[in-house]
């Protein structure tokens, strides 16, 4: 392995070893505390524009397979790890992580003290960074200084589908027809809805509410996605029309879009919620569930519309984890019930959405 560098915006430099594709990548440096799921993390559209640090020390030990993709390509700009496993062991493995990133033209860096880097990010907050196998640190710092900041880029436009497509139900005769607004959907959301007998039409993020409602879906689903929600005013306007017309569920960014449509606003978390062990409390039942999360922004708990209310909170920092409307068939959650990776404690909320559609039909 050749030498590679990670340089942060304040000049802090880490030296490591290059793997994957040779090159240079710029993005927001974030960390994920999950012990497994690196393939799902890399292909999750919500990581677009980010250099992902994994806190678990050994990565690549079960290789890469053909079924754990969460989108059609690697979405993260780079992968930062401590130790790369070059000889994976799994019956499902079809390639090494090194060859997978090389084929995907994504630069990786190994040999980094990722726990030190994580403590840095927890203390100072996420920061812009640059990973390279091509240049020395002084050159990299200049390149980083000239780059666009993460919060100024509309990544939703980059990851959304370019045209509508249908994800069929697992049944020949689906019971539900769902319109999904694609701000960065994960495949396992589509797989999970299909397993519940739903046919999903996936719409580009810029689709108008009129265009979607003209197809008369049974319900609307608002997907997760990357970037700063404050850049998505046009989408919020469309969401405002959709949620007043059809039963609606939102996940992650979808939760924030619903909150903004009811007069709320978002703010940036110091280092985000990214991992598979985030505790969430349901304020109605008192139940606590362990959730998979991946987001850098959160909703403030103030809304101009009194019809919307907070029904779930994060037990670590008290941030909003779920919204529901008092009279309309609308609810949302900030975490990922479909997991991939992570626990499936909350998978039942997808069935709750479909039951809400059934109740609305009655």
Provide long-range contacts, Cβ within 8 A and 24+ apart, for 303-306. 303/259, 303/262, 303/263, 303/264, 304/262, 304/263, 304/264, 305/262, 305/263
Q: For this structure, is 338 an active site residue?
A: yes
Residue 132: pLDDT above 80? yes
> Whole-model pTM?
0.96
Which DSSP string do the residues of 228-287 spell out, in sequence order?
-GGG-HHHHHHHHHHHTTS-EEEETHHHHHHHHHTT--EEEEEEEEEEEEEEEEETTT--
Q: How far apart are CA 134 and CA 24, in angstroms?
A: 7
Q: Virtual CA dihedral for 40, 43, 47, 52, nearest 10 degrees?
A: 70
Residue 4: pLDDT above 80? yes
The pLDDT confidence band at residue 1, using thresholds 50, 70 and 90, is confident
Q: Which of 70, 183, 199, 252 is catalytic?
A: 252
Contact present, 5 and 140 (Cβ < 8 Å): yes
Mean pLDDT value across the chain: 97
C-alpha to C-alpha distances, 297 to 51, 129, 227, 228, 334, nearest whole angstrom: 17, 19, 8, 7, 10
Q: How far apart are CA 145 and CA 200, in angstroms?
A: 42
Q: What is the pLDDT of residue 213?
A: 98
Contact present, 191 and 349 (Cβ < 8 Å): no
Q: Which of 18, 295, 325, 336 is catalytic?
A: 336
Q: Which of 28, 199, 321, 338 is catalytic?
A: 338
Q: How far apart are CA 108 and CA 102, in angstroms?
A: 9
Average pLDDT over residues 210-222: 98
Q: What is the pLDDT of residue 122?
A: 97
Q: How far apart are CA 26 and CA 77, in angstroms?
A: 7
Could you give the 3-state DSSP secondary structure of residue 306?
coil
Contact present, 225 and 253 (Cβ < 8 Å): yes
Contact present, 163 and 142 (Cβ < 8 Å): no
Average pLDDT over residues 318-332: 98
Q: What is the pLDDT of residue 199?
A: 98
Residue 362: pLDDT above 90? no
Could you give the 3-state DSSP secondary structure of residue 118?
helix
Contact present, 109 and 4 (Cβ < 8 Å): yes
Q: What is the pLDDT of residue 215?
A: 98
Residue 177: pLDDT above 90? yes
Q: How far apart are CA 312 and CA 331, in angstroms?
A: 11
Q: What is the pLDDT of residue 94?
A: 96
List, in order of start, the domains of the chain with CATH numbers.
3-153 (3.50.30.20), 156-361 (3.40.50.880)
pLDDT tens, position by position, 189-203: 999 999 999 999 999
pLDDT tens, position by position, 279-295: 999 999 999 999 999 99
pLDDT tens, position by position, 133-144: 999 999 999 999
The pLDDT confidence band at residue 120, using thresholds 50, 70 and 90, is very high
Q: What is the pLDDT of residue 183?
A: 98
Dihedral angle sign, alpha carbons of residues 267, 153, 200, 340: negative
Q: How many helices (H) and strands (E) does the chain have?
A: 10, 19
Q: How far apart are CA 94 and CA 98, in angstroms?
A: 12
């Amino acid at each position: 392995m050749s030498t590679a560098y990670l340089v942060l915006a304040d000049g802090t430099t880490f030296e490591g070893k290059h793997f994957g594709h040779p090159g240079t990548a710029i993005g927001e440096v974030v960390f994920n505390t999950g012990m497994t799921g690196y393939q799902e993390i890399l292909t999750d559209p919500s990581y677009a524009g980010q250099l992902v640090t994994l806190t678990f020390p050994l990565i690549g030990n079960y290789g890469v397979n053909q079924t754990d993709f969460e989108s059609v390509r690697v979405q993260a700009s780079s992968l930062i790890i401590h130790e790369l496993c070059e000889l994976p062991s799994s019956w499902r493995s079809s390639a090494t992580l090194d060859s997978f990133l090389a084929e995907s033209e994504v630069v990786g860096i190994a040999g980094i003290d990722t726990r030190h880097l994580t403590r840095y990010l927890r203390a100072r907050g996420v920061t812009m960074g640059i990973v390279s196998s091509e240049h020395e640190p002084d050159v990299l710092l200049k390149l980083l200084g000239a780059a666009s900041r993460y919060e100024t880029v509309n990544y939703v436009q980059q990851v959304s589908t370019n045209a509508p497509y249908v994800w069929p139900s697992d049944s020949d005769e689906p019971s539900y027809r769902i319109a999904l607004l694609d701000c960065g959907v994960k495949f396992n959301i589509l797989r999970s809805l299909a397993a519940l007998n739903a046919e999903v039409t996936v719409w580009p993020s810029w689709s108008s509410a009129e265009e979607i409602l003209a197809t008369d879906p049974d319900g609307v689903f608002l997907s997760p996605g990357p970037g700063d929600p404050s850049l998505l005013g046009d989408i919020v306007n469309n969401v405002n029309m959709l949620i007043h017309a059809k039963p609606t569920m939102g996940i992650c960014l979808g939760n924030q879009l619903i909150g903004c449509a009811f007069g709320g606003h978002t703010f940036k978390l110091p280092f985000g919620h990214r991992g598979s062990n985030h505790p969430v409390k349901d304020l109605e039942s008192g139940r606590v569930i362990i959730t998979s999360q991946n987001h850098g922004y959160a909703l403030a708990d103030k809304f101009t519309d009194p019809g919307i209310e907070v029904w779930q909170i994060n037990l670590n920092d008290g941030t909003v984890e779920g919204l529901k409307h008092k009279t309309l068939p609308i609810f949302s959650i900030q975490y990922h019930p479909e997991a991939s990776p992570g626990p499936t404690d909350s998978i039942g909320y997808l069935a709750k959405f479909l039951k809400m559609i059934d109740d609305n039909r009655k």
